[in-house]
Structure 1
Amino acid sequence: MKPAGVVRKVDQLGRIVLPKSLRKRYQMNEGDPVEILVQGDHIILERYRPKCVFCGAMNGVSEFKDRHICSVCLTQMNSLRERA
């Protein structure tokens, strides 16, 4: 991890403001979902990308009934259904 050289204070509601230069650099827009991760004593923010509920893949993911599933797992599920 490299420091961004920016220091911000946390407000009364626990919020911080990400500088416009960082939002622009990482293509983060108002309303975009952000995932909060913890690694040791570090808090990591990253743009949220849905993952397949079965295998954790991030490519080819579609939403079905409020769940995310990748095309590979969907194909495997369809082949199981065809055998039954």
Structure 2
Amino acid sequence: MLKSTGIVRKVDELGRVVIPIELRRTLGIGEKDALEIYVDGERIILKKYEPACIFSGNAEELIYFKGKMISKEVVKELIDLYNSMTNE
């Protein structure tokens, strides 16, 4: 469900839109924070980017591997899978 803030901003010549400080404070968005951009029909949705494991979606204990985030939990599962395959 969408909730209108009543705030309207124009897009500048470089395609930028300023998010008001009140909204950034409320949503915990700081300077240099990354935002994910989603499209839903004709809507553009911005969401604060929270890195997560590409397999489990877990955002805790992440390891950066070949450009992807993987949780330590998944790494352990992959090791177990590999070990079970090589011990046959």
TM-score w.r.t. length of structure 2: 0.82
Which amino acid counterpart does residue 54 of structure 2 have in structure 1? V
Give the paired residue count. Answer: 83
Runs of 4+ in 1 over 4 A off after TM superposition: none
Are the structure 2 counterparts of residues 58 and 40 from structure 1 closer, same or farther at C-alpha, using a change threshold of 3 Å?
Answer: farther
Report the identity percentage. 37
- CA shift, 1:35, in A, is 0.4
Alignment root-mean-square deviation, CA: 1.5
Question: Any stretches of 5+ residues in structure 2 without a counterpart?
Answer: none
CA contact (8 A) 1:51 1:61 kept: no
* Structure whose alpha-carbon radius of gyration is higher: 2
TM-score w.r.t. length of structure 1: 0.86
- Describe the SS at the equivalent of 1:32: coil
Question: Any stretches of 5+ residues in structure 1 without a counterpart?
Answer: none
